[in-house]
Amino acid sequence: MKKIKLALHWQIIIGLVLGLLYGLLAANAGWLEFTSDWIAPWGKIFINMLKMIAVPLVLISLINGVSGLKDIAQLSSMGGKTIGIYIVTTVIAVTIGLFAVNLIKPGKTFSEEIRAEMVVQNEAKVKSTEERASAQQESGPLQFLVDMVPSNLFYSASDNRNMLQVIFFALMFGIALIIVPDSAKVQPIKDFFEGANEVILKMVDIIMYFAPIGVFALLGNIMVELAGEDPGAAVEILTGLGVYSLTVLIGLALMVFAVYPLALKFLAGFSYRDFFKGIAPAQLLAFSTSSSAATLPLTMERCEEKLGVSNKVASFVLPLGATINMDGTSCYQAVAAVFIAQVYGMDLGLSEQLTIVMTATLASIGSAAVPGAGIIMLAIVLGAVGVPLEGISLIFAVDRPLDMCRTVVNVTGDATVSTIVAYTENELIPHPVEK
Ligand code: ASP
């Protein structure tokens, strides 16, 4: 008899919905301590497992991918394309965000009293965001290149400190594997990485057995944390920021439901339904974890096994994308910056809006793929157009839910670009998508 197995996205949706329901119940019943003692740890364990697998996966998969390339020329053609498309999608995302916020003008209806109250309430948070942002900014123009090159691979890899440095090492190792003259000698190493890649993808499958429970715990805990001691007050703040949140959501929805489907259709001849079926579990996980880095293992597995992106392309394009391509974050930064300016009665002209396009693109590249990174880099965007930094205090309350949504877009964007690059490189292997 055939065992009936629920598709992964349904399993995650069930965990998510139950988590939301539990969170609502717990927040209203005041089960704060119970939730943090008995529910939250399961979410943490799940995130830890995802992080645990991320570095070995990127290292092994990328070495395996690069060593399978025909020659170095294929790598540079893939690299150029990937970075080019990543930049274009990010600029489109910022532009959409700017259009939405300029049309809807969510800041114009924002009440003066709530603004004053929020600035006072969130003073400490603004200060720490400012400090973290200025630490990021105090660096020379070539610092990003310096940051890419690890002085010690184990240091970069430990605690998932710097994925770009891990990528750098893996690329160099893979390139060296291709150019070693006596290929017979390195064949066992290539075979090793090929086998290890299979094993590590299986580990991702095993971790995913745990996904419904992990997602349940993450969502339950987030709801309780958001509601805090006073769920009534939380609801009031959320409705106050409703129009702003809606503007961000419209921008994000346009990316997911218009830009990516069109790009997939015209640049890769890929139907969005198939794409969606394949990638949905990764999108749901992105929503639950708010971290594209934690979602990366599943994004890679789904792109390879369900969308048919070859390991060569997926292992290169996706880890790079998780680190530097954040369309959702950049769209959000554009909306947030103009929203805050509107609340402060500032009218941003064309040159300021163009500055936002530039800085939001760069800031999203520089944002870490972890929860809450986008709002820190937002400080840099605000600084560039002269909008008061304390304005960030207005949007803290809704940052986490919006973070969850923008992370979905970040991950969807990476998967879209990997499909397009794979198609143009003849590396898209037709695959049956799981029903
Ligand atoms: N949480 C986002 C991510 O990991 C980054 C951000 O916008 O805060 O993709």
> Among all chains, which residue has been given the structure tokens 């390139």?
175
Tokens of 69: 């390339």
Q: How far is the CA of 364 from the centre of ligand 1 (A)?
A: 9
Pocket test for ligand 1, best of 287, 291, 375, 381 (most atoms within 8 A of CB): 291
* Single pTM value for the model: 0.88
In 3D, which of 87, 246, 62 has the Cα closest to residue 163? 62
Question: Sign (positive/negative) of CA torsion 409, 394, 340, 385?
Answer: negative
> Is residue 317 in some structural domain?
yes
Q: How far is the CA of 326 from the centre of ligand 1 (A)?
A: 7
* pLDDT recorded at residue 3: 62
Q: What is the DSSP string of 147-192?
A: HHS-S-HHHHHGGG--HHHHHHHHHHHHHHHHH-S-HHHHHHHHHH
Q: Which residues of 333-350 are buried (b: 16+ CB within 10 A; e: fewer)?
A: bbbbbbbbbbbeebebee
In 3D, which of 278, 269, 245, 381 has the Cα closest to residue 326? 381
Please give the backbone phi and psi of residue 428, each rounded to the nearest 5 degrees, phi first.
-100, 110
CATH of the domain at 356: 1.10.3860.10
> Is residue 158 in some structural domain?
yes
Q: What is the DSSP letter of 138?
A: -
* pLDDT recorded at residue 102: 94
> Is residue 252 in some structural domain?
yes
Q: How far is the CA of 163 from the centre of ligand 1 (A)?
A: 15
Atom of ligand 1 nearest to the CA of 407: 9
* pLDDT recorded at residue 107: 85
Q: How far is the CA of 186 from the centre of ligand 1 (A)?
A: 39
Mean confidence (pLDDT) of the chain: 88
Q: What is the DSSP letter of 425?
A: T
> Is residue 432 in some structural domain?
no
* pLDDT recorded at residue 206: 93
- For ligand 1, residues with CB inside 6 Å are 290-292, 326, 329, 367, 369-374, 403, 406-407, 410
328 lies in which domain range? 8-424
Number of domains observed in the structure of the chain? 1
> Is residue 15 in some structural domain?
yes
Protein residue closest via CA to atom 1 of ligand 1: 371
Question: What pLDDT, in 10s, does the model give residues 295-311?
Answer: 999 999 999 999 999 99
SS3 for 367?
A: coil
Q: What distance in Å separates the CA atoms of residue 291 and residue 227, rounded to the nearest whole number?
A: 21
* pLDDT recorded at residue 372: 85
Q: Which residues of 139-176 are buried (b: 16+ CB within 10 A; e: fewer)?
A: eeeeeeeeeeebeebeebbeebebbbbbbbbbbebbee
> Is residue 60 in some structural domain?
yes
Q: What distance in Å separates the CA atoms of residue 260 and residue 253, rounded to the nearest whole number?
A: 10
Question: What pLDDT, in 10s, does the model give residues 15-74?
Answer: 999 999 999 899 888 888 999 999 999 999 999 999 899 899 989 999 998 888 878 888
> Is residue 435 in some structural domain?
no
Q: What is the DSSP letter of 370?
A: S
Please give the backbone phi and psi of residue 229, each rounded to the nearest 5 degrees, phi first.
-75, -25
Q: How far is the CA of 322 from the centre of ligand 1 (A)?
A: 9
Residue ranges of the chain with per-residue pLDDT less than 50: 435
* Contact between residue 22 and residue 39 where contact means Cβ atoms under 8 Å apart: yes
> Is residue 434 in some structural domain?
no
* Contact between residue 203 and residue 357 where contact means Cβ atoms under 8 Å apart: no
